[in-house]
């Protein structure tokens, strides 16, 4: 998927998308942003469901304005809202959608059974969709999106309303679609911990603008901080670290017990240009026994908050200028 200078407005309201440019590669890409960020609008523009936008959008080399039907044959879409067909069972609705793509009735029925079984609805194949729970409806929507064996899947808030166990199982399905079946998955969500569990890359939208993009594997190597745990002369250890040009960020003691009472410390050491060796040298010089020394892996929530916070801070600063 490729987007260049894409903008979309609804009447006189602020633009839903403003000059967005991005590239989506293989694997699972998380499309993140708060409510109203423009995530659903972006997906609908790319799929050709909305055509009155400016800029360019392509999927699998197909133009979103002029190749809408060709895109739909090769792309699966799981919308955020319910996609129930009245008075149809799960297998009948999935089969009907498969037939709309040009499959024969027999082939469509077989694919409907396969996809509903894959998404965990084997016991509810012939139940009316109106009787499905929230989690079952989400699974049905995924089966409907998969029934024509698409190359790319667009999932809009796919685990919304699901209980923790069902959500974890659904995340496993998404991971399997990419790893085992070679699907490209674009996953719109505001549930950052879920995205961090399965996504390969992330795009962050806010107020209709792209705020950042990165691969999740880069988070582990992006931090220059170490977490140190041990016992001994805490103040002396800090002095030795400072003498070596290393800064210290204090962390709360375990279970809320003051460090002075337990002789224990947990510290984040920043700016570790000298590497772990400098930290261990400082510990040796201050007679501190280090129990653990590990890199700090930045959480997706931290990066997201920083990107959104910087964007909002820039907007506020611009508003304050005369």
Q: Tell me if 289 is assigned to some domain.
A: yes
Same domain, 241 and 93: no
Q: What is the mean pLDDT of the chain?
A: 86
Identify which of 108-112, 165-169, 237-241, 279-283 has the greatest average pLDDT.
108-112
Same domain, 115 and 131: yes
DSSP state of 254: G
Same domain, 120 and 241: no
Q: At 268, which helix (H) or strand (E)?
A: strand 264-270
Model confidence band, residue 262 (pLDDT cutoffs 50, 70, 90): very low
How many residues are there in the chain?
322
Q: Tell me if 308 is assigned to some domain.
A: no
* Choice between 294 and 92, residue whose per-residue pLDDT is larger: 92
Half-sphere exposure of 232 (CA within 13 A, CB side): 17
Q: Tell me if 37 is assigned to some domain.
A: yes
Cβ 38 vs Cβ 208: under 8 Å = yes
The answer for residues whose C-beta is within 8 angstroms of residue 139's C-beta and 6 or more apart is 116, 119, 120, 121, 170
Q: Tell me if 155 is assigned to some domain.
A: yes
Cβ 65 vs Cβ 6: under 8 Å = no
Phi–psi pair at 219, nearest 5 degrees: -65, -40
| Chain segment 114-143, per-residue pLDDT in tens | 999 999 999 999 999 999 999 999 999 999
Same domain, 118 and 181: yes
Rounded to whole angstroms, the Cα distance separating 14 from 291 reads 54
| Chain segment 174-189, per-residue pLDDT in tens | 999 999 999 999 999 9
Q: Tell me if 300 is assigned to some domain.
A: no
Same domain, 39 and 173: yes
Same domain, 158 and 251: no
Alpha helices in 62-198 (DSSP H): 68-74, 90-100, 105-118, 134-146, 164-179, 192-198
* Choice between 117 and 298, residue whose per-residue pLDDT is larger: 117
- Other Cβ atoms within 10 Å of 228 Cβ, number: 25
Cβ 38 vs Cβ 229: under 8 Å = no
Q: In the predicted model, is pLDDT for residue 233 greater than 90?
A: no
Same domain, 22 and 91: yes
- Which pair of tokens denotes residue 228? 């140190």
Q: In the predicted model, is pLDDT for residue 313 greater than 60?
A: no
- The CATH code of the domain that includes 193 is 3.40.50.300
Least confident of 15-24, 132-141, 259-268, 303-312: 259-268
Same domain, 161 and 245: no
pLDDT value, residue 245 = 80
**What domain range is 281 assigned to?**
224-295
Asked whether the CA dihedral 164, 166, 167, 172 is positive or negative, the reply is positive
Q: Tell me if 9 is assigned to some domain.
A: yes
The answer for residues whose C-beta is within 8 angstroms of residue 162's C-beta and 6 or more apart is 134, 135, 138, 170
Same domain, 190 and 238: no
Q: Tell me if 178 is assigned to some domain.
A: yes
Domain count, the chain: 2
Same domain, 22 and 152: yes
| Chain segment 171-228, per-residue pLDDT in tens | 999 999 999 999 999 999 988 989 989 999 999 999 999 999 998 887 765 556 777 8
Closest CA to 183 of 24, 10, 3: 24
| Strand pairing report for 152-156 and 264-270 | unpaired
């Amino acid at each position: 998927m490729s987007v260049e200078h894409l903008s979309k407005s609804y009447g006189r309201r602020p633009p839903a998308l403003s000059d967005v440019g991005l590239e989506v590669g293989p694997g699972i890409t998380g499309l993140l942003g708060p409510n109203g960020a423009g995530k659903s609008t972006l997906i609908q523009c790319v799929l050709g469901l909305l055509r009155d936008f400016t800029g360019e959008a392509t999927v699998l080399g197909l133009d979103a304005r002029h190749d809408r039907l060709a895109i739909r044959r090769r792309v699966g879409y799981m919308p955020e809202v319910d996609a129930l067909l009245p008075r149809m069972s799960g297998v009948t609705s999935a089969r009907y959608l498969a037939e709309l793509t040009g499959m024969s009735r027999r082939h469509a029925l077989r694919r409907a059974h396969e996809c509903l079984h894959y998404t965990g609805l084997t016991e509810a194949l012939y139940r009316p969709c109106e009787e499905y729970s929230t989690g079952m409806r989400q699974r049905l929507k995924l089966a409907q999106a998969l029934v024509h064996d698409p190359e790319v899947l667009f999932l809009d808030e796919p685990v919304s309303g699901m209980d923790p166990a069902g959500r974890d199982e659904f995340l496993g399905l998404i991971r399997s679609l990419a790893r085992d079946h070679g699907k490209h998955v674009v996953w719109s969500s505001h549930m950052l911990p879920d995205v961090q569990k399965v996504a390969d890359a992330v795009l962050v939208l806010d107020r209709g603008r792209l705020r950042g993009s990165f691969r999740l594997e880069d988070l582990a190597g992006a931090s220059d901080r170490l977490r140190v745990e041990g016992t001994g002369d805490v103040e002396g250890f800090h002095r030795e670290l400072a003498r070596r040009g290393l800064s210290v960020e204090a962390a709360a003691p375990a279970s809320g017990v003051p460090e002075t009472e337990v002789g224990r410390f947990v510290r984040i050491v920043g700016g570790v240009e000298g590497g772990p060796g400098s930290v261990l040298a400082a510990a040796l010089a201050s007679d501190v026994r280090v129990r653990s020394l590990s890199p700090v892996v930045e959480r997706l929530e931290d990066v997201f908050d920083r990107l959104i916070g910087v964007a909002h801070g820039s907007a506020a600063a611009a508003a304050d200028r005369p």
